[in-house]
Each structure stands twice: as structure tokens, then as C-alpha cells.
Homo-oligomer: A and B are copies of this chain.
Amino acid sequence: MSIEFDNNLPIYLQIMNYIKRQIVTGTLKSGDKILSVRELAAELQINPNTIQRTFQELEREEIVETRRGLGRYVTSEESKIMGIKKEMAGELLDRFINGMQELGFAEQDIVSIVAEAVTEVPEPDQDRGVNHRE
């Protein structure tokens, strides 16, 4: 329902990802009608102009389709949706691996760290045991 906004990234981009995630995970399905500009603006407590910009970008990426006077709909091209998922996952993967390598972690370490983080019972909070061997 709501989003935690990161002050260091433009809101309209964060909302774009929010919508994309909903599409990728099936919360919004191909052909579904999307919340109107004003509705989403009210729900997220964001100015309609900002939502408008979000949708303009999504349309430019051919992720949503607009029918003036009617509303917006998730693209009917299923292949496009698969593409979005690959693209987003690829971006996450790149950022992570590049980032870790820039910090000096070896490839083997990176795999281990992820495996541990995923296996591990979620600790109450705390340091998250990134396990870096120098």
C-alpha cells in the first residue's frame, strides 16, 4: 500500500519501480487497469504531477498503455513483462557484484556471503554477519 521513500532518489523513479514490481510479481496483471493519477496520488500522498511524470516514463518504456478519458492499463504484451523482470534482476545483480568487487571481495566470498545471508535464521537485528575474511 505505501512506500518508504529514499530521499536520495527521485520519487518518480521510486514509484516507477513500485509499479514495475507489482507488474512483475503479478499484483498487476497484463491488461489490468491501473489506479488513476489522482487515486495513486492520494494513496501515496504525492502530488498528482509527480505521479503523472511517473506514468509518462512508464509509457515511454512501453510498460503501460493509456486510453485518454478511460485510464491506464498494464501492457498487453506478456513478453514485455518478462523483459522487465530480467532487466530489473540484472540491474540488481550487477550493482551487487560490482559493488562487492569494488570493496575487495573475491568472487568466492560473494557467493558464500549470499548463501549465508539466505540460509541463516534472521537474527533479531544486528550486524547481519557479512563475514568478510580479509
Chain A positions near chain B (C-beta within 8 angstroms): 8-10, 13, 21, 24-26, 85-97, 99-100, 102-105, 107-108, 110-111, 113-115, 117-119, 127-133
**With the chains together, A118 CA to B113 CA distance in Å?**
13
- A95 near B93 with CB under 8 A, answer no
Residues of B within 8 A of A131 (CB): 87, 90-91
**With the chains together, A113 CA to B90 CA distance in Å?**
10
- B130 near A91 with CB under 8 A, answer yes
- A118 near B110 with CB under 8 A, answer yes
How many identical subunits does the complex contain? 2
**With the chains together, A17 CA to B49 CA distance in Å?**
33
**With the chains together, A86 CA to B94 CA distance in Å?**
19
- A130 near B97 with CB under 8 A, answer no
Assuming A95-B95, A97-B114, A110-B118, is B21 touching A90 (CB within 8 A)? no
The smallest C-beta distance from A5 to any residue of chain B, in angstroms, reads: 14
- B25 near A86 with CB under 8 A, answer no
- B13 near A133 with CB under 8 A, answer yes
- B113 near A111 with CB under 8 A, answer no
Residues of B within 8 A of A8 (CB): 9-10, 13
